[in-house]
Structure formats: structure tokens, C-alpha cells
A and B are shown apart, each in its own frame.
Chain A
Amino acid sequence: MNILGISAFYHDSACCLLQDGVLINAIQEERLTRIKNDSSLPKKAYRWCLEQAHLSPSDIDCIAYYEDPVKKFARQLWSKNQNIRLDNLADFDPKNVEYSIREQLGYEGKIVFVDHHMSHAASSYFFSGFEDAGILTVDGVGEWATTTYGRAEGKKIDLFEEVHFPNSLGLLYSTITAYLGFEVNEGEYKVMGLAPYGTPHYASQVRKLVTMEDKGQYSLNMEYFDFMKGKRMYSEKLVDLIGVPVRERNASLDTCHMDIAKSLQVVLEEILIEKVTYLYNEVESENLCLAGGVALNCVANGKVLKNTPFKNMFVQPASNDSGGALGAACQAHVQITGERPAQSRIHQIYTGPSFSNDQISVVLGDFTKEALNYTTNEENLLDEVATRLKDGKVIGWFQGKMEFGPRALGNRSILADPRNPDMRDIINSMVKKREGFRPFAPAVIKEKCSEYFELDHESPFMLETCQVKPGMDMPAITHVDGSARVQTVSLESNPRFYKLLSKFETYSGVPILLNTSFNVKGEPIVCSVEDALLCFINTEIDCLVLGGYIFDRNEETVRRIKKILGEKFSTVQQRNVNSDVYTFA
């Protein structure tokens, strides 16, 4: 039974293949097109998923789409989407999704449409390994729903209550994100990272934005929001309420901005704790599953688990819309086979492309001779890398299959020594080229985690925060409030990364590395060897490890290549178009 899950036409489009209920592969379209948050139908991802499994379109039993286009269209009509007119109604025809799949993917078989929040719910529950669970999904908006409450048992998911648009915690968060001068759908992480610098002086104002109601319901006080008109997120009334001017993009970040971020975070956590407690009282389960974009708020996740009666929690690592592809495929599997997919908990999410040392060598071409070759000696490779890390080098680490979802978990990562007090600033400014306040996360050997962090369970997907234990001096991964967003690494889930952490412990005494995604601001995480090389050259990464090859930064070589790149040599994919192609007209 081959089921393809697809998410598309909003942001983070993706494709995955579920074979007899087992996740075989999954990839976001942006990684292949190099267009950040690519929302188009994932044609490249589709080809890749099928090619990797040696399948053709006729081998697909079903394509599961992560949304119901009819309901979504109804909501767009209701919300007075100004792009919809009588003369272009056909452009918004809900049938277009099916037509696109047929036409652009060349697929003639069965298509199943799964509601947006059901897709989120299934993506979390079916990979949680729980026999039963309460489910909370929270995001900006799906069709009508923005928040759903569900109970699951065995193969059955029942979403028994929904909060409807425009009442949305995701949109509340995005509104303040916009208020603080960050990009909606992109800057929410930044607000979360900014919050610990502040104090919740504006919590009372933020509370006025939401009215808590019975059961799982809440409503936004729409006088403070303007997103219905599609021009901007907040109204002038919100500016009056907050009493702080809207921050212009790239303007300086002041204390008041940090305080607003903190206030939002506090209020979000209050609401989530209240609603998750409500959920607990409605379901007969100790297990909680979270999904939807808001579930990527790892700070809130930790608070939810700590402050509600649920004993266990699972958060879908691709909680954003890309993960909807997984959930849709799972739900379609249940519909078609009557069986539950994915019986056990998912422990790793390395489902993307990988490159053998031979393939890497082919792409490197003449550049191979600049590399140290450890393709036949992993032990020495790890020794060399760990030594460099201990010496304060920043490493681009490109190994095995690429991760699915927004986090780099040790296969497309930038790594560094967490003990170095300057490391956060170095990586933020010279490598990632992003805002200086943003924190970095630690990856730690699973068995050693509790020695360093207040965490008593696995966190393989970097979706929870916890406190760093007192006395542990790791400034590069410890946030201003003493917290860290931990990734636990096991030998089973990622052997080479685990061994590197062990080796680093041998040299440094610490089984922990700073781990951040291998990309620069505005670009998707690197996917191919060429992506990694170009990212390496265009940043200040000291050393690049591609499979079994190590490249130490040779300034002369880099200068030479940069000079060529600087001369309009086409390399970097532009957003939405192949405009790096040499052309005249």
C-alpha cells in the first residue's frame, strides 16, 4: 500500500511516502527548489519520493492531501478575501487542487482530502507510539478551524471540538510578530527567542486581546486585529493598547520589544495550560499529542507538560504545514486499510536525500584535492572533527539523510563548542548572518542528558526547553533565562553524530555540542553537496565535513572562489524564479 501525502498551496509544501503504514521518505519542496517556504505543489519532492522508492505514479494507491479545499474556499469567501471576485471565481475553484495533482503530477488514481487539523492531529498521534492520547492542534488557520481538541485510541482519532477562524492563537502570535517588526510565518521563532530577555510588563494588555470562553473556546477581540482585510495584522487600536510604536523592520530592539515578546509568551502559555487542562478532563488518557505551527513553540511545550496533568507528551517534529503531509497520509492509510499506521514512536526523522562519498567526490571535482580524505576511517574523521571543535572551530556538518521538518538534527548542522562564551555571537553574525539575540540549541548524548539539563526524558527533535543545571558553564547554548532547547541523541537514531558527541566529550569533558541548522538567513537548510559547499564559502564556517571529507577553510581558495562568485557567477537560487541563470534579453 503506497500512499503519498502532500501539503501545498500555503507555505512549507512537502511530500512523503507511506508504504504499508511505514514512513519511507519525506521532504519539503523548498529543499529542492531552494525557494524558502516554497508553497507550490511539491513536484520535485514528489519525483524524489517516487524515485527513491523505485516507484512510478501507477504504483501509488492514494494521494492524501492535507486540507479540504471546499471548506477552505468557504472560509475565504466568508472572510471577504478581496482577491475573490465573480469574474475570477474559477481561479479559486476548490477543484483546482485535484486538477493540479492530476495535471502536474500526472496522477490518475484515488485522492483523499483530509481536514487540515486532522492532518496535524494524525501526524502527531500516529507517530507518537501512544495507544491512546488527547490531541491538541493549534496553528494560524486551516479550513475553518484554528484549534482542535481530540481524543485518540488505537486507529481512531476523534476531533471533538474546534475553535474557528478568526479566533486563532497562531494569528495572535503572528500579529505580535508583525508588531515587533518580524516577518509573519518566519519571525515567530525570533519572538520566542526574544521573550526571555524581557519581563511581562505588557501581559495585561495582551490578555485583553483574547477572551477565554467555556470548554476549549476562546475568541480574539477583533478590534485589535486587522488581518481580515489582508493588508496588515494589527489595528491602530492595538497600537494604542500596547502604547509602544510598531517596530520597523531591522530597527533596533529595545527593552519594550523584549517585554512585549515576553508578555505574549506568558499569555500564550497561560492559555495553552488552561486549554490543555480542559482537554485532559475531556479525554481518558495520560498522553498528550501536540501539532500545528504553535506546537513549534518549544518553550510553551515544556510549560504545558509541567503544568497540566498529562504525564507524557509527543510533539510532531514537523509540526508546521509540511508535517500535514505525514498526517494526511496516515489518515488515508486508516481509511483505506482499516489499520493503524506507524505502530511505534518515531525516534528519528532523517527521511531526505543522502549522498555517498563517491557521489560527494563527483560533485567536488577538482576541489576534492583540497580535502582530507577519511572516507575509510570514521574513527580518525571523528578525532579530527572533535579536535577542531575543541579548538573553537565552527563546523559545517553534512552527513547521511537530510532531516524532515524545520530543525537540523545532526545531519545538516552547524556545530560548535557550547562552552565558548563568544560562540553565539560569532555564529549569529559571521555564519548565520542573523539577529544577535537568537539562542542556539544543544545536542547531547541521550544517556548524559540529565547530568547537564533538567530533563528526565528523551527530546530527540529539539521541541522542548528545560533549564540548564546549575554550575554548567555552557554560555553558547544557555539562553538568558538559563534555559536550553535540548536535542537528545541516541546511538540508534544517529550513530555518527552520537559518536562525534562522544569523541568531543573525550577531548572536552562535555558530551554536548551547539547544533544549529546548516543555512544562512533567508535560505532553506542545505540539501545537496553543492548547497553545502556554497554555504560554506559564503559564510565564515571554519571547516566543512562532507561525509568522509574534511575541508579546512583555506582563505586563498575561498577568496578565489568568492571573487568568481562575486562576479555574477550564477550560484544562489533566487526566490521563486531561476533568475541566476545567465541570460540576455
Chain B
Amino acid sequence: MELKETSNKVAELVYSGASIDLSNELALFIEEQQEPATKSTEPVSRPEKVGRWIKDDISGNYVKNPEFDSEDDNWSEVEFITPGSEDVYRIVLIGESVARCTHFPHEYCAARVVEKMLSESIPGRKIEVVDLAKEGMRFEQLMEVISESVLLNPDMVIVFAGNNWQPGSSLGTPYNFNMLQKTVGTSGQTQFIKDTLRDSLKSNVNDFKELLTGINAEYNIPVLYVMPEFNLGGFKPARKEYVSHFLPGNKMKIWSEAYDSCLHAEASGGWEEVKKLAGQMMDMDTEHPFAYEMMAKYFEHIGDLRQRREFLEQLKDKALINAIGTSAPRRFTVIRELVNDILKESPVTVVDLQEVLKKHSHEGIPGNELFLDYCHLNFRGIHLAMGALASQIASILGVNIDAASMSAIESPVSERVLSITHFQAAIHNYYVGQDTPLLYHHCCEALKHADDELVEAYHKSCILFSKRSSAVFSDELHFLSEVYPFENFSVFGHPRNKKLMFIELVDAMTKALQVVKKIEIADEIKNIRIQEYKIGKEPVDLLESPYAERSFQEFLCDEDVAYYRAHETRSSFICVADASENIELDVTARIPDFAFCDINSAVKVYVNGDLYETVRVCDEWTNIKISIKREVLGAGVNKLEFVWPVPEKQVMRKLYKTLSLPGEIINMIYYTFAEMFAIRAVTS
């Protein structure tokens, strides 16, 4: 057969769905088409580099490598690193953003804090700690930098990492992709994903151990690993992580009823009922965070702190598959288990921050008293963690100083730095989908440490955030550019053409200004919002920027598909009105499993918490017109909520195997209650 004919035949066969049963002849054809792999025999010469620094042959120092200029903000600002000297004990500290002390100024970092502790507590010895930490250091780069770090002739290697060990890419292999597809809709779906991710993590941790023990053996130097901890008490899953999964039969219906009942039981103080319902929900959907959150609340209520911690840990770990690759970084429990298991027989010394911080935490559960966000430590948290590390280092050097004494050696920062640190934490927590209480906490802390100029800066930030125009063109930004440290200035940035409304963040600061400083800006903010975002005669789509987003990681119609998918029974949107006119909504939506919903089921539309209308939507795109009377609208931000019907039963959804990214693959297991193409709003 002619090659072209054969190619055409194979293409037709694959198109017809016969790809898995290709005849031997055709399979051979495809294999024959492949060129034999050739390996390069030329030796690869590697530049002598360590992280973002590269060896300067003239001075012998490691100087900044221009290739890494785009990562400049992520590394230490040190211009060059010397090759080391005989009379100085050199420690290299490699790590992620926690080691860089994110939210603090560059010069305040784990390396400097621990260096000061060691220098002051062991006065007779010259000790330096080389800072090789980088914000956003992924596992692969971490391994690279660890390998490279020996070029600096260290006397000790410390690795402080584990928050960025996301194993999601392992799901992208063809084998796992196919397996994943086979499990979708079965009881084994989440177990397969978790097993695959665990296998991938296990492989990584084994490689990590091999590398560390190899360095220990080859260079005969001590190697320490600092295992990070998570803000269990203060950080909640982002809203995007509250997703329902495919549940066979009528389980989704039962689960949803239990959800409503559980909320009701909590509100009425029926804690035993909460426990019962949460348990049932967990049995049905092992990965939905809600049940774990309720269980943790129950055990908090009855004072069982061990059990509370257990469920908070599980709540944290739901991000492993619920927001894969996009969740706030964290050290998953499975990583700790693997590290403890794999490293226990190795010469690597482990400093486990879970153990270190437990005794300094409120009721043994670390929270906002130690953290600024999910994993980045605050001033106290850094000193406690580094105190434990410094004590361990001292012990290796033959000096016994306990962690508490080490922690007491402070690297002080100014009130201004503390204030800005909390303000940035507030912004960052907003970006990663945290609710008002945490934002308010940091806004209050920022104001408590603020001088008058910073108070004014925060006030102007609220105006800047509330305006619709790109921040670059706002007068407030230029004021801020004069008073705010430039190295932290990027917090005011945003993607092009995508300014957010920052509602919860600005509301939190508005309240904090009123409570802490007795400054009233609520009316000013409300007026700006009405002026800038009010629905008018020109239609706007509430699914589009700037109405849709509440953080840069939660654009509604920006990623995998051209429409919004509701993975929860409720979808909330906001619209801004001056309440002088009615608002006409033109909604395009569909309910994929409408055929399995009750014949009388309808979509409930709530305006500002009150049921306003019920509308019918079917499994095809349906255009619905809703007229919202001005009487039910408030001047300012109004909340629209769509409550979708829950199907009586679920069947396997139609799958299109076109997705390639792990996040997209995981999306396939989320249940979709409804899809929306547009919510056009206009005044009548």
C-alpha cells in the first residue's frame, strides 16, 4: 500500500474510534514512522552556577547571572557570593518563599535571622549563612540548586522547603490520563488520583533523600531539612476549592440536603446533628471540604483539640485534588509522612516545624498568631522556627543552646515594616480567596503599627483599589509610589485589562480604619463604586472583568472554557447600582443534567439574600430575562445569587478527551450543576 494511502487509512481509523484496536499492520506502520532515538555523544559542559549566580572567572566570585534577571525579585539581593574562606563556617540555606520570609523586606529573611542567632550565641566562631532561597522555587529547581550549592564550599547544607512540591504534572502522562478517564464517575476516581499523586511525591522524596545523603557522604558535611507547617487555624480553603464531585446515583441529592441541614444545625446550635450530617457527607463525597470544616468546628465546640486538628489537617489536604496547581502552596500531610518515613534512616537531620510550632500555638493548632497567610510566617513565627533550627545547628557544632534561648535573639524590624507586612498579607490573602475575617485581622494589625503617612497610604489604596481604571493611571498610585517601598510595590499591580473591584479587601480596610483609627471612608468608597461601576444604559456582562473576579486566580471565564461552570449549588455575582432604576438581566444558562432533575425544579434567584424569582432553565442554552426592581436594590454593591436544582440522580457525564493540563484533567471529576454563558445587565 502506498504510504499516503496508509496514512489516510490510519487517520480514518483513528477518527472512527478504532484507535485502540489498530491492526498489527497499522500499528507497525506508526512505529516504523518513528526515527530511532539518537543520543548525543558530545559531553555537556555545564556553567558553574548556583541559583541565580554564576561564577565570574576573574574574581572567582559568583555574581548575578543576567539570565535570571526576570527572577530578580524572587532571590536574595546579594550582588555576589564569595567562594568561601577557611576561617568562616559557611552554611547554605536553600528554600522556598517561607525561607525568603515573604511579605517582609528582602533583607529580612530566614538566613539572616538564623545567622544572627548563631553569631550571637556562639561568639567565638565566625558563621555565615548564604541565602539561596527563592520565592516560587519548584521541586525541580530546588533539586538543581541543592546540587549546585556545593560549589560554594559549604560546611553545612540546610533545605527549608516542601510547600511547592505539587505533584500534579504526574497526572499528565498518557498512561495516567487514560487511567484517570477510566475511573471518572466510579468510586475509585479520587483514590486513583490520590494514589498517583502519592506515588509521584514518593518518587520525589526518594530523589530528595538520595541527593541529600549523597552530599552528606561525598562532602562529609551535615545536611538539615526544615519541614514547613501550615496555618491550620487561620486559613480556609479558597471558594474555588469548595467543589462537588461526581457522585453516582442519588447521592448528590442526599449530600445537598445534608449540606443545607448541616448549616441549619450549626446555626441553631445542634452540634451533634452537625457531626452526624458531616459524617454522612464525608462518606458520600470524601473530597468536598465542607464536611471536614464542619467536623473541625464540632470538635472545637466540644473541646477535643486532637480531633479538631485531625480534621483541619484533612481540610488542608483537600487542595491536593480540588485546586490542583492553583491552590495556595502548602505542605501536604502526605509529604510529612513520606519525609518522616524515607528520611528516618538517613543521616539527614529533620527539623519538623509542626512539632516546633505546636507548643507555641493557640490550643496546639497554629494560626494567625504565627502566620501571615497559608504558609508564610509572621515575625514571631519566624523567630520560633529559626530558633529551633539555630539550636539544632549549634548542637551539631557542639554547643547546646535551647530553641527558646535562640528565639529570644531577635532581628528587630521597624513598626513601619510590620505595618506594611500585614497590609501586604491582607492583599495576598484576598488574592488567594480568603474571607473578610482574615483580611480584617491583617488590616487591623497593619493600622496598629502604622504611622500617619501609612494610614493615609492605606486610605488611598482603598480608593485606588475601588477605581475602575488601570492602577497605573491613578493619582493614588503616584502618591503610594512616594511612600511605599518599591520592592513591595507589585502588590498594586494587576493583569492587563483586568482590574478587580477588591470589594472584600476594601470593606475590611474600611472597617479597620473606622475601628482602629476612627476614620470614616465608607461613604467615599460607596460613591466611588457607584460612580465607576454602576450598571447603566450600556449592557455589561457580569461574567466579565471587572464584575466577575474576586481574585486574580478566580477569573470566571478565563481559563479552560468560554463560559462559567457552577461546581456548587450556589453561584454568586455582584452588581453595583445606585438603586434609582430597575436592572434588567439577560441571562444565558443551561443545566447539563436537567433531564435528571425533578420535573418542577427551577433556578432560584436571590437578590441581597432574599428570594426574588424562580426561573426555568433546561439542558440547552436558555435565555432568561429577569427584571430587578429598584426597591430591592441597595445603593452600592448588590449580591445576586443563583441556586441551581440538584438532580435526582447523576449519570456519567459526556467526556471529551481534549484536555492536557493536570488542572483540566482534574476538572473532569468536578460535578457541574449549571453553566452560564452571559449575565448581561442594563438599566431600564
Contacts and interface: CB of A to CB of B under 8 A. Distances in A.
Nearest to A41: B562
B561 A108 contact: no
Nearest to B96: A585
A95 B474 contact: no
B376 A105 contact: no
A82 B33 CA distance: 8
Given A56-B621, A530-B497, A564-B481, A80 B11 contact: no
Interface string B5-48: 00110111011010100100001011101110000000000000
Most buried by B among A528, A569, A571: A569
A561 B163 CA distance: 35
A585 to B, nearest CB: 4
Interface string A288-319: 00000000000000000000000000000000
Contact of B677 (A106, A364, A578): A106
Contact of A47 (B135, B487, B532, B557): B557
Contacts of A569: 471-472, 489-490, 492-493
Most buried by B among A78, A92, A144, A560: A78
A365 B174 contact: no
Contacts of B490: 567-570, 582
B31 A104 contact: no
B472 A585 contact: no
B620 interface: yes
Most buried by B among A70, A108, A570: A570
A87 B175 contact: yes
Contact of A89 (B19, B96, B481, B677): B19
A582 B470 contact: no
A584 B136 contact: yes
Nearest to B541: A51
Contacts of A568: 73, 489-490, 493
B73 to A, nearest CB: 6
A101 to B, nearest CB: 9
Given A104-B562, A570-B495, A74 B10 contact: yes
Interface in A96-154: 96, 99-100, 102-106, 108, 144
A585 B489 CA distance: 17
Contacts of A367: 469, 473
B121 interface: no
A78 B468 CA distance: 53
A85 B621 contact: no
A100 B97 contact: no
A89 B30 CA distance: 9
B280 to A, nearest CB: 33
A77 B30 contact: yes
Most buried by B among A44, A50, A58, A534: A58
B652 to A, nearest CB: 15
A360 to B, nearest CB: 10
Interface in A514-572: 528, 530-531, 533-534, 560-561, 563-565, 567-572
Most buried by A among B136, B470, B541, B659: B470
Contacts of A99: 656-658
A103 B4 contact: no
A534 B496 CA distance: 9
Contacts of B15: 69-70, 73, 93-95
A376 interface: no
A74 B30 contact: no
Interface string B157-178: 0000001100000000011001
B377 to A, nearest CB: 13
A79 B657 CA distance: 25
A105 B621 CA distance: 12
Interface string A35-68: 0000000011011001100101110000000000
Contact of B496 (A80, A85, A100, A531): A531
A58 to B, nearest CB: 4
Contacts of A560: 478, 481
A250 interface: no
Contact of B468 (A82, A90, A100, A362): A362
B625 interface: no
B507 interface: no
Interface residues of B, number: 82
Interface in B350-382: 376
B399 interface: no
Main secondary structure of the interface of B (DSSP, over half): mixed
Contacts of A565: 472
Nearest to A164: B4
Contacts of B144: none
B659 to A, nearest CB: 8
A581 B495 contact: yes
Contact of A365 (B30, B31, B468): B468
A142 to B, nearest CB: 15
Contact of B33 (A50, A57, A77, A102): A77
A412 interface: no
A229 B136 CA distance: 36
B675 interface: yes
B310 interface: no
A563 B472 CA distance: 11
A229 B487 CA distance: 47
A77 B493 contact: no
Contacts of B329: 584-585
A503 interface: no
A252 interface: no
B494 interface: yes
B491 A582 contact: yes
B656 to A, nearest CB: 4
B599 interface: no
Given A103-B561, A585-B136, A366 B97 contact: no
Contacts of A530: 470, 496-497
B489 A366 contact: no
A364 B14 CA distance: 53
Contacts of B304: none
Contacts of B656: 99-100, 102-103
Contacts of A582: 431, 490-491, 493-494, 552
A90 B182 CA distance: 14
A78 B12 CA distance: 13
B136 A528 contact: no
B477 interface: yes
A73 B13 CA distance: 11
Nearest to B552: A581
Most buried by A among B30, B467, B470, B472: B472
A51 B473 contact: no
Contacts of B416: none
Contact of A366 (B22, B73, B469, B541): B469
Given A362-B468, A585-B329, A70 B12 contact: yes
B3 interface: yes
B629 to A, nearest CB: 23
A528 B545 CA distance: 13
B130 interface: no
Given A102-B656, A105-B562, A568-B489, 12 more contacts: A56-B623, A84-B33, A86-B30, A93-B19, A103-B658, A105-B561, A106-B590, A366-B473, A530-B496, A564-B481, A564-B489, A585-B164
29 contacts: A47-B557, A47-B562, A58-B621, A73-B11, A73-B15, A74-B12, A77-B10, A77-B33, A86-B22, A87-B175, A89-B14, A89-B22, A90-B174, A91-B174, A99-B658, A100-B658, A104-B560, A364-B469, A366-B474, A530-B470, A534-B496, A561-B473, A563-B481, A569-B472, A569-B489, A572-B496, A580-B493, A582-B493, A585-B329
Interface of A: 34, 43-44, 46-47, 50-51, 54, 56-58, 69-71, 73-75, 77-78, 80-82, 84-96, 99-100, 102-106, 108, 144, 229, 362-367, 528, 530-531, 533-534, 560-561, 563-565, 567-573, 578, 580-585
Nearest 7 A-B pairs (CB), nearest first? A365-B469, A570-B493, A99-B656, A367-B473, A74-B11, A58-B621, A78-B7
